[in-house]
Amino acid sequence: MRDDRVDILRFIGLAMIIFAHVGPPGILFQLRNFDVPLMVLVSGMSFGLSYKAKASYRRYVWKRVKRLVFPVWILLTIYFIAQSIIYPESTELNFKTIFTSYTFVSGIGYVWIIKVFLLVAFVSPFIFFWHKNTQTDSKYFFVLVIFFLLYEFLRYLSLPYIQEGAWEIVALVALDIIPYAIIFSIGLRMIQMNKKQLYALSFISLGTLIFVGFGLFLHSGQVIPTQELKYPPSMYYFSYALFISSLLWIYSENIDRIFGIAKVKNIVLFIANNSIWIYLWHIPLVKVVHTNFAVKYLIVFTVAVSITYAQIWIVSHLLIKGMLSDKLRKNIKMVLTG
């Protein structure tokens, strides 16, 4: 099942992530700082619509690996081969950068978000089972709040120890999978919440943002952007993201109508349905295009969408056309489209 409203939020999330990477000025950079949590919320919504609880866990994980990991590895391989041919003196052509790129740690940058989606994917079926077996929203969200508070305490205590060594590796997993799994859990529930509940979530998130922000201001003497508490992600960072994301979901039908009136809905849905490859193609483009941030954004987004469109056309009309193996066709489409 697909819900156009979910795809519209995915489009907005992707658009804001790419916008962040073109170097917008401070206030615009902060305003869009709901993008990654929004994408995880959308992932939870989509999972709730499409997941079949009786599916094999091993098969599900393998499918997510093909969907998330293989496209990145293909893009990285193209990227590093092109670098070695066009710009062989590049500082990115070293073992550490290449290794940490393929493992989604740091590397060339921009690939850490794939690690987040992959980690959350590993626990998604278990979260879904708990979601389905927890009837009352009050109990569901009470448990999530407790986990969020425990996580925030863990994050605070671990900060001095996660900059290097073994604890850094632990943090790269634990301090991503826990908070983003909570956000995913909220997404699972959001799709069935009524307007009153959604407004309550929005106001609670705003209240948390103001309360924590005021505390940080008293402590530091200055307004702290949520971006500064994003790695590892904090309650302060998530409170802003949940505030904006819940408002977007509340008004998603209105946004849907606006896109329809503007005659761009089909483009928006294409971008949403092929978000991973558009995201991947934007990475090298961000690195090679150097101009004003607004012009850069237009170029990077337009070219990434165009390359993806051409790629999907080639896969659908040339690469898999005439293939006898249905399984092979499905696997190629899974990796090279979407």
Residue 48 lies in a domain: no
CB hemisphere CA count around 316 (13 angstroms): 8
Residue 33: which residues within 8 A CB-CB, separation 6 or more? 20, 225, 226, 227, 230, 237, 240, 241
pTM (predicted TM-score): 0.95
Q: 203 with 234, same domain?
A: yes
**CA 107/CA 98 separation, integer angstroms:** 6
Q: What is the pLDDT of residues 256-291, one digit of tens each?
A: 999 999 999 999 999 999 999 999 999 999 999 999
Q: What is the pLDDT of residues 119-163, one digit of tens each?
A: 999 999 999 999 999 989 999 999 999 999 999 999 999 888 887
Is the confidence at residue 1, as pLDDT, over 70?
no
Mean pLDDT of 216-236: 95
Residue 299 lies in a domain: yes
**CA 137/CA 11 separation, integer angstroms:** 28
Q: 67 with 212, same domain?
A: yes
164 or 229, which is more confident: 229
Q: 1 with 147, same domain?
A: no
The residue out of 229, 249, 269 marking a domain boundary is: 249
Residue 193 lies in a domain: yes
Mean pLDDT of 320-336: 90
- The pLDDT, as a whole number, for residue 35 is 97
Q: What is the pLDDT of residues 102-115, one digit of tens each?
A: 999 889 999 999 99
DSSP letters for 256-312: HHHHHHTT-HHHHHHHHHTHHHHHHHHHHHHHH--S-HHHHHHHHHHHHHHHHHHHH
Residue 226 lies in a domain: yes
Q: 149 with 28, same domain?
A: no
Round the average pLDDT of the chain to a whole number and report it: 95
Q: 189 with 288, same domain?
A: no
Residue 203 lies in a domain: yes
- The pLDDT, as a whole number, for residue 279 is 98
- The pLDDT, as a whole number, for residue 163 is 77
The residue out of 249, 280, 298 marking a domain boundary is: 249
Coil, strand or helix at 85: helix
Q: What is the pLDDT of residues 34-82, one digit of tens each?
A: 999 999 999 999 999 989 878 899 999 999 999 999 999 999 999 999 9
Q: 302 with 338, same domain?
A: yes
- The pLDDT, as a whole number, for residue 336 is 95
Q: 106 with 242, same domain?
A: yes
Residue 220 lies in a domain: yes
- The pLDDT, as a whole number, for residue 324 is 77
Q: What is the pLDDT of residues 23-47, one digit of tens each?
A: 999 899 999 999 999 999 999 999 9
**Residue type (1 letter), 296:** K
In whole angstroms, how far apart are CA 205 and each of 199, 243, 245, 337? 10, 5, 10, 35
Coil, strand or helix at 108: coil
User: Token pair of 299, please?
Assistant: 């170029």
Q: At what angle do helices 137-158 and 235-250 cross, to 10 degrees?
A: 150
Determine the structural domain holding residue 186 and report its residue range.
53-249
User: Token pair of 75, please?
Assistant: 């893009």
Number of domains the chain is built from? 2
Give the count of beta carbons closer than 10 Å to the beta carbon of residue 125.
18
